[in-house]
Homo-oligomer: A and B are copies of this chain.
Amino acid sequence: MLPAIALAQINPTVGDIRGNRQLCRACLDKADDRAEIVVFPEGVLPGYPAQDLLLERGFLRDLDENLKELAAGVDHRWVIVGTVRRGSSDGGRRQLFNTAAVLHDGKIVAYRDKTLLPTYDVFDEARYFTPADSIEPITFTLASGERLRVGLQICEDLWDTGYDIKVSNRLGEQGIDLFINISASPFRSGSFAERRDLIRAQVKQWGKPFVYCNLVGGQDELVFDGRSMVVSGEGALVRTGAAFQEELIVAVPEGKPEAGAETALRREVELAAAIKLGLRDYFVKTGHARAVVGLSGGIDSSVVATLAAQALGPQQVTGIAMPTTYSSSHSLEDAETLAKALGIHFKVLPIENLRTALLEALAPFFTGTEPGVAEENLQARIRGNLLMAVANKQGALLLTTGNKTELALGYATLYGDMCGALAPIGDLSKTEVYAVARHLNMEAGRSLIPRRVLAKTPSAELKPDQVDPFDYELVSPLVDELVINRAGRAELLAQGYEEELIRRIRGLTVTSEYKRRQAAPVIRVTGKAFGVGRRYPIVNRYEPIGKR
C-alpha cells in the first residue's frame, strides 16, 4: 500500500536561505504525521532562480549549513528538499548540481541530481550546473518496514522530448513504485495542461503513480503557479494543488479523480491571477507596499491600476492623471471614474505649463525646427518625472503600463511612459489586455474599468488628434506570430499578412530593441516574453524580407 505524501507547495524568497529553511521547518511541523514522505519544490532553499548568487562561495557554504540544520530536525519521515550542492572539484573545475537532497532521521542521507539542464528561453542552467553523473531510484523504508522504490527527478527531467537522455525511462526501467518530480516550473499560459499530459504519458508507460510538487510565487519576471499534482498509477488526477497560492497537500497517490481537478482555468483568468501574484510578490519581496500608476484614461493604465488595486489593496495605490492640451476631456473623466470604482487614491497634476517651460528652455535647440517626436517624448518624460517624484516621495514603486504589442513596436517613450519598477502587462498583447479587462469587470460583477475605455480608439494623446498608428486587431496577432512563434516571411504571407505590413512591423520590432534593453522587468505569462528569455542584439542589421 502506498503511503500518504505531503507536497509543500510553498513560496520561498531568492537568497533568503534562513527564511526558506524556516518555511520548510514550519511545513514539517504542520504536515499530517501520516505523511511519511514530505516533498518540497526544486530550489526551495536558495530560491529559484538564484542566478549568479550561485557563483558566490559564501552563498554555497550558507546553503550547506542550512541544509544540515534542517536535516538535524527531521524525524522518521523522508523529506525531499530542492537545493544546490557542490560536487568534488574536478581538476580545478567548479561543479555544481541542481539537486534533491533527501533528509531522514536527522541526516542528509542522499542526493539525486538533475540530469536535464534547461538552457533556453528564460533558463540558464548550463551556466551554473553540471548534469547528474548517474540516474538511480532511491529506496525509502517506511515505518511499516515496507520498502518503497522512488524514481526521484527534477523539473526538466520530465520534459525530455528535446534530449537524448530519457530520465523517466531510465528510472522506470530500473523498477520503481512511484515517480516524484520536484519542480520550479514557471507559469505560462497553458502550462498546466502540458505538465499534466507529460505526467500522464509516464504513468501510462510505467503504470506507476506520479507525484509532482511545484513552486509557487513571483521572482522578478517569473511567476510560479503551483498546481502540484498527484496522479494514480491508473492515470487518475487524485489531487491538484491550488493555483497561484501556497498549499500543503497531503494525499495518497491512488483512488479516484478529484472532482474538478482536470479543469484548466480560462486563459484570461490565468493571466490575471499570474500577474497579480507576480506583482504582489515583487512588492512584498523587495519590501514595498505602495504603488503609483499614471492614469491616461486608456485601456492599459486602467487594467494595470485594477490589477494593482486587487493585488496590493486599493488603499496602497495612487492613480495620477496628467493632462495637457492634447488630452481629450473623456480621458480625465474616465481616469477618475476608474479610480472611484477601484477605491484607489487619485490626483490630477496638469502638466501644460511644464511642457511650455521645457519647450522654452529648449529654445536654443528647438527654435525654427518642425515639431516631431522630440516634442512628443518631452511630454511623456515630464509625466515620467512627476510619477517617479511621487513614487520616491511616498517610498512607492511606479508601475509602467505598456503592453507587449507596444513594447514590440517600440511605441512607447523611453524614460517617459516606460518609467517604472515593473511592467505588469508587458507580456499581454493589446488583444489580451482587452480580454483581461473584460474578465476583471465580469469577475467584479460591475464596471471597474469604464465601458467607454473598452470602446474608444487607443491614442497616446501626445499631439493634436493623434490615434495609435496601428490597427491592433491586425497588428497584435502579427506581433505575437513574430515574437512568440518566430514566424518567418513565408509563413506570415501564407497566413494572409501583406508583405509591406510584415516588413514594417518586423522592422519596428528589430529597431526598438534598444528601448526594451532599458525597459522595466516584464511579468512573464506567455511562452515568449520580452526580457531575460529573449536575447536579441541591439546592433542587428538582419533583414530577411524583400530585396537582397
Query: Which single residue of chain B is at the shortest CB-CB distance from A20?
Result: B541
Residues from chain B with a CB closer than 8 A to the CB of A110 are: none
Residues from chain B with a CB closer than 8 A to the CB of A351 are: 361
A377 to B389, CA, bound (A): 7
Query: Which single residue of chain B is at the shortest CB-CB distance from A357?
Result: B357
Distance between A469 CB and nearest chain B CB, rounded to angstroms: 18
Most B C-beta atoms less than 10 A away, residue of A58, A377, A384, A520: A58
Contact B388 A381 (CB under 8 A): yes
Contact B285 A541 (CB under 8 A): yes
A266 contacts the other chain (Cβ, under 8 Å)?
Answer: no
A148 contacts the other chain (Cβ, under 8 Å)?
Answer: no
Residues from chain B with a CB closer than 8 A to the CB of A338 are: none
A94 contacts the other chain (Cβ, under 8 Å)?
Answer: yes
Contact A92 B388 (CB under 8 A): no
Residues from chain B with a CB closer than 8 A to the CB of A90 are: 164
Q: Which of A267-291 contact B (CB under 8 A)?
A: 281-282, 285-286
Distance between A96 CB and nearest chain B CB, rounded to angstroms: 12
Contact B349 A385 (CB under 8 A): no
- Range for the number of chain A residues in contact with chain B: 35 or more
**Per-position 1/0 for A31-69, Cβ under 8 A of B:** 000000000000000010111110111110010000000
A520 to B538, CA, bound (A): 11
A213 to B58, CA, bound (A): 39
A541 to B23, CA, bound (A): 15
Contact B361 A386 (CB under 8 A): yes
**Per-position 1/0 for A396-420, Cβ under 8 A of B:** 0000000000000000001100010
A278 to B534, CA, bound (A): 23
One of A11-19, A293-301, A308-316 at the interface: A11-19
Contact B540 A15 (CB under 8 A): yes
A486 to B55, CA, bound (A): 8
Residues from chain B with a CB closer than 8 A to the CB of A372 are: 392-393
Contact B357 A353 (CB under 8 A): yes
Residues from chain B with a CB closer than 8 A to the CB of A161 are: 92
A56-B488, A537-B50 known; A18-B548 Cβ under 8 A:
yes
Query: Which single residue of chain B is at the shortest CB-CB distance from A543?
Result: B15
A203 to B98, CA, bound (A): 38
Contact B392 A539 (CB under 8 A): no
Q: B56, B366, B486: which contacts A393 (Cβ < 8 A)?
A: B366
Query: Which single residue of chain B is at the shortest CB-CB distance from A542?
Result: B15
A15 to B386, CA, bound (A): 39
Distance between A95 CB and nearest chain B CB, rounded to angstroms: 10
A124 contacts the other chain (Cβ, under 8 Å)?
Answer: yes
Contact B285 A163 (CB under 8 A): no
Query: Which single residue of chain B is at the shortest CB-CB distance from A351?
Result: B361
**Per-position 1/0 for A247-263, Cβ under 8 A of B:** 00000000000000000
Contact A389 B415 (CB under 8 A): no
**Per-position 1/0 for A143-155, Cβ under 8 A of B:** 0000000000000
Distance between A543 CB and nearest chain B CB, rounded to angstroms: 8
Q: Which 10 A-B pairs have the closest CB atoms?
A: A15-B542, A16-B541, A374-B392, A126-B126, A58-B488, A374-B393, A381-B385, A285-B539, A15-B541, A15-B540
Given A361-B386, A374-B390, A378-B389, 5 more pairs with CB closer than 8 A: A15-B542, A57-B488, A58-B489, A362-B389, A385-B415
